[in-house]
Amino acid sequence: MSSNSDATPAYRGYRLQSLYALNRILNQQTDDNLIFQPEGKEDLAVFDSKNNLLEIVQVKERTQNLRLSSFEPEKKDSFFYRVAKEIAVHSDIKINIVAFGNVGPEIVEAFQKDGTKRKNVVRKLSTYKKLSEDKCSMLFEKIDLISVDEKELTDSVFFSFAGFVDYCLCGRRVGRFRAEQGRKGDSGNASNNRRGLEQGRP
């Protein structure tokens, strides 16, 4: 049975957002003090320990190719316009689009390099009259497109959980071993004390 045969697109979208966020949290190695906020600014926002915004992530799941129209650029508060506002405030922010499923070749090349495909997409985006061509071009320089595989992320999450459980169980075993050794040591000391007392009797 297909993994999405019994789920609505909205439910599946939320599930994949959660999967990506959980994988990021469980496998974060660079800084233990990062704060992850799902469903805050975009689908995932990452802050440092001082609450400075470092990264925002938009998760896209498509059964058909991801393309410019997938971001609904005709709407005044859609992704590209929200991101432009964030960049104006946080110039060093990282912007990531995480794509589950297929991505159209034009949008892939538009994000990867400055060339004909990017110019075409930038021109299309600017025709909605909400951002200038220069600002649209800046967005495509700033945003990274990341393709991910659902099964690989699921396996990664399960592997991380398994390691955590093993760590916890190992810690409990070590704790029990130390407690047992401590009880044995106390028992041995008590026996030695009794023998010493008996040997010291007249």
Report pLDDT digits (tens) over 66-118: 999 999 999 999 999 999 999 999 989 999 999 998 899 999 999 999 999 99
Kindly report, residue by residue over 41-62, the tens digit of the pLDDT.
899 999 998 999 999 999 998 8
148 CB contacts (<8 Å, ≥6 apart)?
A: 20, 98, 99, 100
State both tokens at 146: 């990341």
Q: pLDDT band at residue 182, thresholds of 50, 70 and 90?
A: low
Is it the case that residue 6 has pLDDT exceeding 70? no
Give how far Cα 19 sits from Cα of 14, 54, 158, 185, Å.
9, 20, 11, 48
State both tokens at 79: 């992704």
End-to-end alpha carbon distance in the chain: 86
Map out the domains of the chain as residue ranges.
Answer: 9-148, 151-202
Kindly report, residue by residue over 124-178, the tens digit of the pLDDT.
999 999 999 999 999 999 999 999 999 999 999 988 888 767 667 665 554 554 5
